Amino acid sequence: MSSYRANDALGYQQTMGRWSSQLAPPFIQFAAIPDTMRILDVGCGTGSLAFALADKLPRASIVGMDYSQAFVDYAQSKSSNPRLQFEQGDAAALRYADGAFDATLSLLVLNFVPAAEQAAREMRRVTRPAGVVAAAVWDFKGGLTFLRLLADTASVLDAGGEAFRAKQFSAPFTGPGELAATWSAMGLTDVVQTSLTIRMEFASFADYWTPWLSGQGTVGAYLTGLDKGKLAQLEDHMRRAYLAGADDGPRSFAATAWAVRGIV
């Protein structure tokens, strides 16, 4: 069962949606999808990748699918583009016919799917021969600075924090070469894996810390599950880590994702 909480679209936008929007353009460039195609966005969240695809590919039709009805409703409310469609579904049991799409993409979600490898196989199944299958996930262990800061701090303060870090950082597809190995094992050709890096810009410690308290995602679920004393202790240590001896204010953290592309 997934521990990913996804019932507050606005909260998600502040925690991760704003970073998905930044990562979407370089991911689309890496995926190298021609225009005039029918594209499936698996785990579309609040629509970051789908909206970027619509902007980049003005003749493509895009279906965004997510397990969270709240996220689907939010994405649909933000779209008036007839080429965009959003619907609820299960990444590990896609409702679409074999070869229904010219390209199938997934941005920052596969590692959170309990049946991650099945979801990857489903992406391949619904993509036509010679179509593109591409995905990206955060490099949690080595490339996600803003979360590494929190997870390492939490692991020192509390046994539950160590369990949270261990689960988060050992998720499927998050290690070097794991995506490419799975893509090749599925029989995809011309498989390429790379890394994509953005900067996460925060205006202040409050901008860094407060969005997580909406309870969204795995981090939000962990934090809002702490008792008040443990949460206050963690916040105090995180404030010190964020400030790092300087005044409160803007900070910029590098964030790197693994990305893979293959041809059916």
What pLDDT was estimated at residue 23? 98
Delimit the domains of the chain by residue range: 9-263
The percent of residues above 90 in pLDDT, for the chain, comes to 89
What pLDDT was estimated at residue 145? 96
Mean pLDDT over 241-252 rounds to: 97
Please count the residues of the chain: 264
Mean pLDDT over 14-37 rounds to: 93
Predicted confidence (pLDDT) per residue in 200-228, tens digit:
999 999 999 999 999 888 899 999 999 99
The percent of residues above 70 in pLDDT, for the chain, comes to 99
**Tokens of residue 130, six digits:** 């010679």
pTM of the model as a whole: 0.94
**CATH superfamily to which 9-263 belongs:** Vaccinia Virus protein VP39 (3.40.50.150)
Which amino acid type is present at position 38? R
